[in-house]
Structure 1
Amino acid sequence: MSIINYASREIQFKIVYYGPALCGKTTNLGYIHQRISPQNRGDLVSLATAADRTLFFDFLPLNAVVIKGFVTKFQLYTVPGQVIYNATRQLVLRSVDGIVFVADSQWEKMEENVESFKNLEDNLAKQNMSLEDIPYVLQYNKRDLPNIAPVNYLEYVLNNRKKRVQSFEVVSSTGQNVFATLNAVSQTLLHKFSKQSDSNRGSAPGAQTPRQTQGVVA
């Protein structure tokens, strides 16, 4: 759930990168953090366990969207990939506004991808949330490797709900489509928030929402 700071006139949205171990969640956040101007972002914080870690940072986007006089700000989080840290996954998902599910494109990782996606659904359900209500996109990572499944197969196993979502072929190690993925989920959640705000309070003069052709982040 978005956090509204009336003192600073900011609305803060939380985006969580979810997926199996070693799928590229950390690489995504590291790439994004490196390429956002230092004056527009906070420190990249790592909460380490014995064998895994959670990363997060917040930032003011380059093309900051103003909604009813409030500037948008984003918090990006990763979840631990290993199942033994499921309690941490649940904690990170609290008050989430948008999700990027990062899948490992390698054939031998398909079972882990499916298990992680099911785990995401289960953890959301425990908090009375659902993918039907939360904006999310799919990221098919590691498309530069030789032993990868075709996109149509990944779509078949992961993007098979009644309402299909945007998906992206990504090479997070080089940054290919990393920002495209982030822009897509950012635009989707901002449109949802703006629409809900309009229906709850009525349209306000000067309200500004992102255009689909405009990158929210970069």
Structure 2
Amino acid sequence: MVYIDIQHREVTLKLVYYGPALSGKTTNLQQLHACMLGHTGGELVTLDTRDDRTLFFDLLPLEFETRGGFKIRLKLFTVPGQVIHNATRKIVLQGADGVAFIADSRVAQTRGNNESFANLKQNLRDNGLDFDDIALVIQFNKRDLPGIRSDAEVKRIATKGKEPVFTAVATEGRGVPETFKGLAALSWKKLDAKFNFADRFGVTHDDFMERIDELFAPVGSGDGGSGS
């Protein structure tokens, strides 16, 4: 779970993008990296193979500092979607504070989505993580393709669960920032309830989200606070 370094006033959160093969996990991180240009703490690492776009994981390290001088690091990962890489998925999921489940909106991909979601629950259990303790948001991606679930169907699915649901066309960047912000907000809310960051470290939810918003601002347009 979250790594807290009191001496150096640092908190590290791990956020994982999960979902079936080719649902758009890698594209989400690529789009985030592009629109946060100048705010990221490093390069986006991508490992491609013939049978899946991501063999191991993508790492998008972000770093910024709150007004109270507290440094917050965000580490974003994706997992490989193919079943044969389940051991890798389980490893990447270790210590996750939040998960964005990227589903394929096409009706034909329903089974793949369901199997991947069940696999997420199982791998969390295998890692000793409580599904209810993890911040989880769901993104229905590929809204530009034919044969997708209607907006009404997506809304109906959203009402059945407690997880925030977003829609996206990740290849165009639509819905990508919203999904990330939703995941970041929910992750911080759950961690704050557990560790009382506001009182212990002087970092409120509003402080945190203000810095998240600044990650999407052009470099030099504000006071920033991000590392490079």
* Fold shared, TM-score > 0.5 on shorter chain: yes
Q: Matched residues in 1 for 2:191 and 2:119: separation?
A: 26
Aligned mate of 1:210, from 203, 206, 211: 206
1:96 lines up with 2:96 in the alignment: yes
1:60 corresponds in structure 2 to 63
Structure 2, unaligned runs of 5 or more? 217-228
Contact 2:158 2:165 in 1 (8 A): no
Contact 1:98 1:185 in 2 (8 A): yes
Q: Matched residues in 2 for 1:211 and 1:70: separation?
A: 11
Deviation at 1:155, TM superposition (A): 5.5
Distance 1:47 1:159, change over 3 A: farther
Q: Matched residues in 2 for 1:38 and 1:142: separation?
A: 27
Q: Matched residues in 1 for 2:211 and 2:70: separation?
A: 18
2:119 corresponds in structure 1 to 119
1:82 corresponds in structure 2 to 82
Deviation at 1:4, TM superposition (A): 2.5
The alignment yields a C-alpha RMSD, in angstroms, of: 2.6
2:30 corresponds in structure 1 to 30
Contact 1:24 1:172 in 2 (8 A): yes
Structure 1, unaligned runs of 5 or more? none
Q: Matched residues in 2 for 1:154 and 1:212: separation?
A: 29
Q: Helix, strand or coil: the match of 2:111?
A: helix
Deviation at 1:214, TM superposition (A): 5.0
Contact 1:187 1:210 in 2 (8 A): no
Q: Matched residues in 2 for 1:147 and 1:2: separation?
A: 39
Deviation at 1:49, TM superposition (A): 5.2
Q: Matched residues in 1 for 2:142 and 2:38: separation?
A: 28
Structure with the larger helix share? 2
Contact 2:33 2:40 in 1 (8 A): no
1:139 corresponds in structure 2 to 139
Deviation at 1:46, TM superposition (A): 2.3
Q: Helix, strand or coil: the match of 2:160?
A: coil
Q: Matched residues in 1 for 2:113 and 2:198: separation?
A: 41
Figure out how many residues of one structure are paired with residues of the other and give that number: 211
2:178 corresponds in structure 1 to 180
Paired residue type of 2:193:
K
Deviation at 1:40, TM superposition (A): 3.3
Deviation at 1:156, TM superposition (A): 5.4
Distance 1:145 1:115, change over 3 A: same
2:150 corresponds in structure 1 to 150
1:9 corresponds in structure 2 to 9
Paired residue type of 2:74:
F
Paired residue type of 2:189:
H
Deviation at 1:70, TM superposition (A): 2.4
Deviation at 1:138, TM superposition (A): 0.5
